[in-house]
Structure 1
Amino acid sequence: MLADLEYHYKSASAFDKGQGINKLVLAHETEIEEVNNIPCFFWGSLTEPYLTAKCWSTIAKVVRSSFGPVPAHLKDPIVSAGAGRLRFEGFSSCNGVYVRLDMMPDSVDGEFIASGTTNVDFNEPILNALNSIQKNEKVVLSVGQSDVRIATEKTRITEKKVALPARWIKGLTSVQLYLADMTKVFELTRLQAIQLFQSIPKTNAKGDFYVVNRTGKFVFSILPIVGTVRVGGIHRLRLLEGVLPLINTLEIYQSGDKQTCALVANFGKMRLTMAFSPDSYRGFSGEGKALDSMIVDLPTEYIHGINSLLKANETFDPTLISIENDIDFITMDSLTANLSSMGLLGFDLPDNQHFYRRLPFKTQRIASLNPRLKNAKTLIENGDIEIIEQRLDYIEAKVKGSGVLHKVIIADDNAKCTCEWFTTYQATRGVCKHILAVRINRV
Structure 2
Amino acid sequence: MNDLLYKYQSVSTISKTKGINNLVMAHQTEIEEVNNIPCFFWGSLTEPYITAKCWSTIAKVVRSSFGPIPPSLRDPIVSAGAERMRFEGFSSCNGVYVRLDMKPEAIDGEFIASGTTNVDFNEPMLNALNAIQKNEKVTLAVGQHDVQVITTKAKVVEKKVTLPPRWIKGLTSVQLYLADMDKKFELNKIQTIQLFQTLPKGNVKGEFHITKRAGKFMFSTLETPDSVRIGGVHRLRLLEGILPIVDKIYFYESSDKETCAAVCEFGKMQLLMAFSPDAYRGFSGEGKALENMTENLPIEWVYGLNSLLKSNESFDPTMLSIENDIDFGTMENLTASLSSMGLLGYDIENRNHFYRRLPFKTERILSLNPRLKNAKKLIDNEDIQIITKRHNYIEANVKGTGVTHRVILDGENQHCTCDWFTTYQGKRGICKHILGVKMMGE
After superposition, give the CA deviation of every residue in 1:356-414 in whole Å (9 maximum; x if it has no partner): 11221112222210111111111111111111211121111111111111111111121
Q: Normalising to structure 2: TM-score of the pair?
A: 0.97
More displaced, 342-351 or 83-92?
342-351
**Shift, 1:317, TM fit:** 0.8
After superposition, give the CA deviation of every residue in 1:247-267 in whole Å (9 maximum; x if it has no partner): 110000000001110000000
The letter for the 1-side match of 2:158 is K
CA distance in 2, matches of 1:404, 1:72: 40
More displaced, 384-393 or 110-119?
384-393
The letter for the 2-side match of 1:266 is E
Does residue 1:261 correspond to 2:279, yes or no?
A: no
Residue aligning to 2:45: 46
Residue aligning to 2:243: 244
Residue aligning to 1:161: 159
Relative to 1, partners in 2 of residues 1:155 and 1:14: Cα closer, same or farther, differing over 3 Å? farther
Question: Aligned to 2:287, what secondary structure does the other structure show?
Answer: coil
After superposition, give the CA deviation of every residue in 1:90-135 in whole Å (9 maximum; x if it has no partner): 0000000000000000111100000100000101111111111111
Residue aligning to 1:334: 333
CA distance in 1, matches of 2:155, 2:219: 48
CA distance in 2, matches of 1:244, 1:162: 34
Question: Aligned to 2:398, what secondary structure does the other structure show?
Answer: strand
Does residue 1:424 correspond to 2:432, yes or no?
A: no
CA distance in 1, matches of 2:153, 2:209: 49
Residue aligning to 2:57: 58
More displaced, 277-286 or 174-183?
277-286
The letter for the 1-side match of 2:34 is V
**Shift, 1:143, TM fit:** 0.4
CA distance in 1, matches of 2:175, 2:285: 14
The letter for the 1-side match of 2:89 is G
Does residue 1:83 correspond to 2:86, yes or no?
A: no
CA distance in 2, matches of 1:235, 1:411: 40
More displaced, 14-23 or 71-80?
14-23
**Shift, 1:343, TM fit:** 1.6
**Shift, 1:6, TM fit:** 2.9
CA distance in 1, matches of 2:250, 2:199: 17
The letter for the 2-side match of 1:206 is K
The letter for the 2-side match of 1:359 is L
CA distance in 1, matches of 2:160, 2:189: 37
Does residue 1:102 correspond to 2:101, yes or no?
A: yes
**Shift, 1:165, TM fit:** 4.1
Question: Aligned to 1:76, what secondary structure does the other structure show?
Answer: coil
Does residue 1:396 correspond to 2:395, yes or no?
A: yes
CA distance in 1, matches of 2:388, 2:184: 44
Residue aligning to 1:23: 22
**Shift, 1:341, TM fit:** 1.6
Contact conserved, 2:98 with 2:274, CA < 8 A, in 1? yes
Question: How much is the aligned-residue C-alpha RMSD, in angstroms?
Answer: 1.7
The letter for the 1-side match of 2:365 is I
Contact conserved, 1:348 with 1:355, CA < 8 A, in 2? yes
Contact conserved, 1:193 with 1:250, CA < 8 A, in 2? yes
CA distance in 1, matches of 2:220, 2:354: 35
Contact conserved, 2:293 with 2:333, CA < 8 A, in 1? no
After superposition, give the CA deviation of every residue in 1:156-192 in whole Å (9 maximum; x if it has no partner): 7441224344323201222111111111010000111
Contact conserved, 1:168 with 1:285, CA < 8 A, in 2? no
CA distance in 2, matches of 1:277, 1:154: 47
CA distance in 1, matches of 2:109, 2:264: 25
After superposition, give the CA deviation of every residue in 1:131-156 in whole Å (9 maximum; x if it has no partner): 1111121111110112267x798997
Question: Aligned to 2:362, what secondary structure does the other structure show?
Answer: coil
**Shift, 1:335, TM fit:** 1.7
Residue aligning to 1:320: 319
More displaced, 341-350 or 54-63?
341-350
Contact conserved, 2:41 with 2:142, CA < 8 A, in 1? yes
Question: Aligned to 2:140, what secondary structure does the other structure show?
Answer: strand
Identical columns (%): 68
Residue aligning to 1:36: 35
The letter for the 2-side match of 1:19 is K
Residue aligning to 1:279: 278
Question: Aligned to 2:15, what secondary structure does the other structure show?
Answer: strand
The letter for the 1-side match of 2:92 is S
Question: Aligned to 1:398, what secondary structure does the other structure show?
Answer: strand
Q: Which runs of 5+ in 2 are unaligned?
A: none
Q: Normalising to structure 1: TM-score of the pair?
A: 0.96
Residue aligning to 1:71: 70
Give 4+ residue runs of structure 1 displaced > 6 Å after superposition: 151-156
Question: Aligned to 2:64, what secondary structure does the other structure show?
Answer: coil
Relative to 1, partners in 2 of residues 1:246 and 1:162: Cα closer, same or farther, differing over 3 Å? farther
